[in-house]
Amino acid sequence: MRLNTFLDLCSGIGGGRLGLERSGMKSVGYSDTSRLSVTTYKLLFGAEDEKNYGNIRKIKVETLPEFDLLIAGFPCQTFSVIGRRDGFEDIRGQLIFNIANILKQRRPRAFILENVRGLVSHNKGQTIKTILQLLDDSGFDTTYRVLTSLDYGVPQMRQRVYFIGVNKSENIDINNFVWPETVPVPALDNYLIDECPISEWLQEYLPTYLSNETNQGKYTVEDLKKLEGKVLDIRMSDLRIYEGKVPTLRSQRDGVLYVRNNQLYSLTGREALLLQGFPKDYVDKLGDMVSNRHLLMQAGNAMTVNVIAALANCLQNLFVQQH
């Protein structure tokens, strides 16, 4: 029997939601504490009448409606390779315990969880062992794998670990879960549609950046303008150059540029949403009601729609085949 409903925890702007909707499921509610993200979520999905359950730590589980699947991109800063990697020592990293409690009490049929790739190696592998045991104790058989969005229909090098869990009462062998097949990388030009010139501040900053200890003597600004079709990442001290793809979008740092017709352009929030798998008609719903800066941040925090849709379809197939 197919999965029909889901609860969207740590929902952000709804990348997970849209992926699940593509597999035929319907939301019964969501949970997020960011006012700005909730505003964007409502604009994208017309979710004005849906209940936001707010802070996961304060949710009274008995008040939650019935749902078949729980999805959550639980906070990743504490496990990321670019963060301090405090893990369970940081209060944000403890949300997994709240999620596990909801799973244990509400007993949905399945779940999809997402986190940064660094979670797999954090604390020499002990963290992920703890999480898997926690999910097992909550009544779920779990499998996990690191996937990159680049393999599932968007030209973004985003690596994340995905956990797929099935309620033990379903009597489904989790080893029969078939991970989604990869698809060709689409043309990047279809995503870089805004052609937003770099700011005056960035024009003044670039020569300084290109003359730092790491980049000195490699490129001038005029050299960069000749890199037709290339994507430039200036978020690190060293300049990184890509073709046909963009680096992982992040919430705290912009600085992704691209070259077209000998001009430098900054990646916009709208383009970032497209690179996370949101269709243009969804992006157009936002108009000018959300600032470019906030969209860049929100896109960096979002799940990639295409990956979640692919995983959800594989889960649907598992449930249909096993029953």
Catalytic residue ranges: 76
What tokens were used for 38? 């909730």
Q: What are the tokens at 272?
A: 């970032």
Contact 52, 38 (CB under 8 A): yes
From residue 312, give the alpha-carbon distance in Å to each of 12, 113, 177, 211: 18, 11, 11, 47
From first CA to last CA, the distance across the chain in angstroms is: 6
CA atoms within 13 A on the CB side of 179: 15
DSSP SS3 for 274: helix
Strands (E) across the chain are located at 5-9, 26-31, 69-72, 110-116, 140-148, 156-157, 159-167, 196-197, 230-233, 240-243, 246-247, 256-260, 263-266
- Rounded to 5 degrees, φ, ψ at 49 are -95, 0
Token pair in block for residue 97: 């315990």
